[in-house]
Amino acid sequence: MLEKIRAALDLIYPRNCQFCTAPLLEQERGVICATCLALAKRIEPPFCRRCSLPFAGKLDDQIECGYCHDLKFHFSRAVAACRATGLVRDCIHRLKYKRELYYLQHLASWLIDAGKARVNWQMVEAIVPVPLHPAKQRSREFNQAELLARQLGLEFNKPVITNAVRRVKETQTQTKLDAHARRVNLRGAFVPGRGTVAGLGIVLVDDVFTTGATLDSCARILSDQGAANIMALTVARGV
């Protein structure tokens, strides 16, 4: 019955790819055609073992990039599905800033694929999304990291803890700040919440890893609360 209703609606409101406007095939789900989806730049070896920064050439995928070499993160490593460029970046921006929630399906699909390939879920007890400041969440009406975390939770049958970390400082946008300025900007931004993470293996979720400052700030809070192991998982990696 649902398929018949969907087919009827497609006749009235033809489904078209939101990027190239080509009609979507019956078997294509979401709002992007297979041809455009193929433009997403997946992160594949070689890449930095700590932050997923991709490298050119044929190198060992266990290499550590120069950026990570001098940093001590509070998470063990960061896994990213795609490069934060082109179609992937546009999908993230349309979801976050234009409230076009139908892009969530595609973002979650990329995230889940990376999770299947590069995360040992037997070592994970819970998923924690990076929180937004309450004022920003009220304005946006959702937290994209939480939406992604819940999709992961459904896929891998893991609980999502949304109150382990609270954001209490409404910081200026990080977009134009360098790595040092981002870390300064985030000082005091996060505090412990009421959610219990002591002894748990945690996957910390956000949409984009750029310098790692936001993820590291949240991971520090989780570590201080006794989380046994923390790794980060994002849709995209800034390059």
Q: At what angle do helices 104-118 and 86-98 cross, to 10 degrees?
A: 130
Separation between Cα atoms, residue 164 and residue 221, nearest integer Å: 9
Domain co-membership, 59 together with 172: yes
Domain co-membership, 32 together with 61: no
Domain co-membership, 35 together with 45: no
Domain co-membership, 9 together with 80: no
Count CB-CB contacts under 10 A for residue 11: 7
pLDDT (0 to 100) of residue 63: 86
The parent domain of residue 170 ranges over 41-237
Domain co-membership, 17 together with 2: yes
Domain co-membership, 32 together with 80: no
Domain co-membership, 57 together with 171: yes
User: Which residues in the chain land under pLDDT 50?
Assistant: 1-2, 5, 8-9, 11-12
Q: What is the tens place of the pLDDT at every residue in 40-71?
A: 999 999 999 999 999 887 766 578 888 888 88
Tokens of 172: 């200026």
pLDDT (0 to 100) of residue 12: 46
CATH, residue 152: 3.40.50
Domain co-membership, 147 together with 60: yes
Domain co-membership, 79 together with 182: yes
pLDDT (0 to 100) of residue 1: 47
Domain co-membership, 52 together with 75: yes
Domain co-membership, 160 together with 123: yes
Domain co-membership, 196 together with 223: yes
> 206, exposed or middle or buried, with CB in 10 Å at 0-12, 13-18, 19+?
buried
Asked if 78 and 212 count as a contact pair (C-beta separation under 8 A), the reply is yes
Nearest alpha carbon to residue 48 among 75, 72, 80, 74: 80
Count CB-CB contacts under 10 A for residue 138: 9
pLDDT (0 to 100) of residue 158: 98
Task: Give the number of domains in the chain.
Answer: 2
